[in-house]
Structure 1
Amino acid sequence: MKSTLSPRQRLLGLALAGSLAPYAQADLVEDSHLTLNAINFFFYRNNLNNPDGQNYRKEWAQGLSLNFSSGYTAGLIGVGVDAYAQLGIRLDSGKGTSGTGLLPIGDDGRAQAEYSEAGGAVKARLSQTVLKFGNLTPMNPVFGTGSARLFTMQANGFQLTSDDLAGLHLDAGHFTSGNDGASTNDSGSIKALFAGVDARSVDYVGGQYTFSDRFSVSLYGSRFADIWQQYYGNANYRWPLADTQSLGLDLNVYRTTDYGKRLAGEIDNTTWSLATRYQNGPHGITLAYQQVDGDEPFDYLGFDQQPGTSIYLANSVQVVDFNAPNERSWQLRYDLDLATFGVPGLSFMTRYVSSDGIDDSHYRGGAHAAYGRYGDDGQRWERDIEVRYVVPSGKARDLSLRLRQATLRSSQQVAKADTVDNDEVRLIIEYPLSIF
């Protein structure tokens, strides 16, 4: 939904809503919540040998997101509403440096000076089972609407969740449209991301069962209408070794096959990852292996121009997912919590992921073949470094500063088919404020 208000009017509206919230609280259903999240995002990427000629992408934007969640009316079946309003403001961008995904691009090829939207959902609750309809943000392994930019993606449809049985979380949904975090197109398409094919609708069902604080399993299934059926399984276990030591295992498996009219072509793909993490006090070391078995990439949800977050694989990292056809990848990661050294809230992470075996030379996708771009004998690697500080107490509590740097290098054909070699820096400052 495109707003006609000026940036100053929108900012005034957000501020006014926050100032009036304490007085309006008495009129709201009990357990209502109103939060304002401010996020400042700087994104710089230096593309190397880019075939489209744009080597540098650099943008800076400010986002404001106001989120309201009501409680429920009294009675056997309680009803309520959720609503949101968000505003993105361009702080720095140019026609030759746009395209980071922070800001929508206008017809003139330039990033828009500002963009905004608002929406909401109605909800009903019976015991611990909740049905919602409207603009929703489900997060699960087969349909995830998180974001790596200013705002969370929105999907339009139904979602049913239940926590009535101890230890069991159930989740089901039906969605027909949505938009990414840099768009105001409320009726944008839901896509098979790498195939670039629109899905008329998406249905999913699944859940997680927690046996104990050490062991849990998840199972999900989804159907992208006339594109694919996808199934997901996970097992996660943690062994305490000593007071400050533990060892964890995390196994993820996806199975994807074509469905219906096969609008993305024939698909026969099994992709899995296994990660083990050793924790010793403030130190964490992770080793992971990931493998794609299929002549097409492991494909997943996309909205308009951006990827969703329904890829729960160990080597899906900052820039790429290491999900190319027949790709095998290894990861070494190190985490450090500096609270032990007298700096609570400060953490450090670095990881290196390397892969080989990328090969779709035997791809035969049929009449609607949508893949087949990677060639054979492909390889790539990515190195990520991140420093994060979250203010632990005081008036600025929960204010976070996050500095992320990534370097990606690939063999020539892989770079053309997926993501070009690049060096990037992201600086993200985020402040969530609970109004009531």
Structure 2
Amino acid sequence: MKSRVVALTCGMQALVGVAAAYADERPALASAPMPAPRKGQAASAGFVADSRFDLEWRNYTDYFHASGIRRHAWVEGLQARIESGFTRGPIGLGIDAALFGALKLDGGQGARNMVYLGRHGDGERRSAWAYPGMYSVKARVSDSVLRYGLQNVSNPFLDPHDNRALPPTFFGASLLSREIAGLSMQAGSFTKVDPRGQTNLVSLRTAYGRVPFKRVSYAGATWDYSPNGSVSLYADQADDVWRQYYGSVQHSIGHVQSIRLTGFANVYSTHDTGAAMQGPIHNNAYSVSLSAQHGPHGLLVGYQKILGDQFFDYIDETAGVYLVNSMDVDYNAPHEQSLQLRYWFDGKQAGVPGLSAMVWAQQGWGADASAAARAYTPGGPPFGALYFRNGQPIRGRHHEFGFMPTYVVQSGPLRHTKVAAIAEWHVGSADYADGTNQVYRLVVSVPMRVF
């Protein structure tokens, strides 16, 4: 049902969130990624002086093989982004905008959002498309920024599932405040999404239940209490579907030249609200991991468990599932447990900056959707079909293997160019929700600063 793989960075993002941006159908991060530092309003040089214009070329090749299904695509994507500075004064004003475009080089019928999906699910024969991928107005007071429009956001509920030629973006309002050193506070409310492979805004919906809803609102904060640790607390509400609560903690000790240990734990708690359009939901999902790094070599062990009769679900078009074992698939069936072993290589520590690689294996077991299956039956509400496979309640075991090397060019005219490859193999049992599949992907991203 998913997957994504993010590039190796540092700290816990390098350990737990490594598998998300370029895998198959969607996500996995450790904790909410901190936004890039921004200077406060007092240091503003003005609307024009602080403006910037960036291009990102992305060459995206993807092959997905499963029983009776072969999807493939080769697409060249372009993101042209302009970000103004803020006007001077106590309150700074500005605008951001981006034009997205893509050229299909290959991809036949059945490629879906690997190419152009179209307003009504058609359009796979279109060879080129372009649209406004982002547009927003913004205001800044001190070190707090308010935005309204079509934009990117990053938190444990809304995090773009960016694994195609062009990313999804979300329409609404967001507030990011960094008034206190080490503390990042966020809040927002969103009503629409511009999905991958489409050029128009559509309603938000849940990823597994496929239930549309009108609005999601969230608030939360991440506190870096030391250079080696952080804590996050967030809450959101998808109107008439659920309320979700998220918490995480991570801490590291030691140094990579000897050995650096990092512990991480997080939990999602989901409960139905309002009209409960996806039925009764009382679900808790948690994951824990322990990693060790010595020089360029790292090893992680991760455990994850779903507590409840429902799938752990999240918002479609997002990587809003920061559970450790959400790699090629999510391991999120009712009562499911999973265990992961991951090795990664950090080229910087071996004198090869820019090179990184990761290989992982994991096993899921104990899935049991019989309680929900008794409540819904195959002919019940549409989301009830989620709990059945081949007419039987979801259950069984499954496992996967994956490999992802990445290289970022360190100097020269192509500096910051990133080449990421991924190969994933998932084997599902006859009655498990995710079937057997193979994913092979290559993404080359070339960023360019115009001014």
**Alignment TM class, shorter chain as reference:** 0.7 to 0.9
Secondary structure of 2:157's aligned partner: coil
Equivalent position amino acid for 2:302 in 1: A
Q: Is residue 228 of structure 1 aligned with residue 242 of structure 2?
A: yes
- How far, CA to CA, are the matches of 1:62 and 1:376 in structure 2? 38
Q: Cα 1:373–1:342, aligned 2, differ >3 Å: closer, same or farther?
A: same
Matched, 1:37 2:56: yes
Matched, 1:271 2:281: no
State the shift of 1:139 in Å: 0.7
> Are 1:407 and 2:425 counterparts?
yes
Contact 1:139 1:146 in 2 (8 A): no
Distance 2:436 2:93 in 1: 50
The structure with the largest alpha-carbon Rg is 1
Q: Which residue of 1 aligns with 2:365?
A: 356
Deviation at 1:326, TM superposition (A): 1.1
Q: Deviations over 1:8-43 (max 9, x none)?
A: xxxxxxxxxxxxxxxxxx995221111100000000
Mapping of 1:9-158 within 5 angstroms?
29-48=48-67, 50=68, 55-95=69-109, 98-99=111-112, 101-104=114-117, 110-118=124-132, 119-158=134-173
Q: What is residue 325 of structure 1 aligned with on the other side? A: 334
Going from structure 1 to structure 2, the CA distance change for 1:107 and 1:166 (only over 3 Å counts) comes to: closer
Task: State the Cα distance separating 1:282 from its structure 2 match.
Answer: 0.2
Offset from partner CA, 1:223-246 (integer Å, 9 cap, x none) = 000000000000010111564421
The 3-state SS of whatever aligns with 1:316 is: coil
In structure 2, what is the equivalent of residue 169 of structure 1? 184
**Aligned-pair identity (%):** 33
Displacement of 1:212 in angstroms is 0.7
Residue 394 of structure 2 corresponds to residue 379 of structure 1? no
| 160 and 351 in structure 1: CA distance in 2 versus 1, 3 angstrom threshold | same
In the superposition, relative to structure 1, how do residues 85 and 361 fare at CA in structure 2: closer, same or farther (>3 Å)? same
Aligned to 2:295: 281
Partner of 1:203: 217
TM-score, normalising length from structure 2?
Answer: 0.84
Quick check: 1:39–1:428 contact (8 Å CA) kept in 2? yes
Q: Distance in 1 between matches of 2:184 and 2:352?
A: 36
**Counterparts in 2 of 1:255 and 1:27: CA distance versus 1, 3 Å:** closer
* Whole-Å separation in 2 of the counterparts to 1:31 and 1:42: 35
Which secondary structure state, in structure 1, belongs to the residue aligned with residue 431 of structure 2? Answer: helix
TM-superposed deviation, 1:152: 2.1
For 2:342, the aligned partner's letter is: R
Describe the superposition over 1:294-342 as per-residue Cα deviations: whole angstroms up to 9, x where unpaired.
111100011xxxx31111110111x211111111000000001234545
- SS for the counterpart of 2:98 is strand
Distance 1:87 1:160 in 2: 28
Query: 2:442 is matched with which residue?
Result: 427
Q: Take 1:212 and 1:253, find their aligned partners in 2: how far apart are those partners?
A: 21
**SS of corresponding position for 1:409:** strand
State the alpha-carbon separation in 1 of the partners of residues 349 and 235 from structure 2: 42
Q: Is the 8 A contact 1:143 1:204 kept in 2?
A: no
Partner AA of 1:316 in structure 2: S
2:117 maps to amino acid: P
Look up the SS of the partner of 1:362 in the other structure: helix
**Is contact 1:265-1:365 (8 Å) kept?**
no
- TM-score, L = length of structure 1: 0.87
SS of the residue 1:63 aligns to? strand
Gaps of 5+ in 1: 1-25
Query: How much does 1:286 deviate?
Result: 0.6
Given that 2:72 and 2:114 are in contact with CA atoms closer than 8 Å, whether structure 1 keeps it comes out as no
**Highest RCO, 1 vs 2 (Cα 8 Å, sep ≥ 6):** 2
Contact 2:99 2:130 survives alignment (8 Å): yes
Please state how far the C-alpha of 1:277 moved relative to its aligned partner.
Answer: 1.1
How many residues align structurally?
396
Cα separation, 1, equivalents of 2:348 and 2:297: 11
Q: Distance in 2 between matches of 1:210 and 1:343?
A: 29
331, 343, 347: which is aligned to 1:334?
343
Partner in structure 1 of residue 265 of structure 2: 251
Matched to 2:398, the amino acid is R
Instruction: Give 5+ residue unaligned stretches, structure 2.
Output: 1-44
Asked if the contact 2:257/2:294 (under 8 Å) is kept, the reply is: no
The more displaced of 139-148 and 155-164 is 139-148
Do the aligned partners of 1:45 and 1:425 also contact (CA within 8 Å) in 2?
A: yes
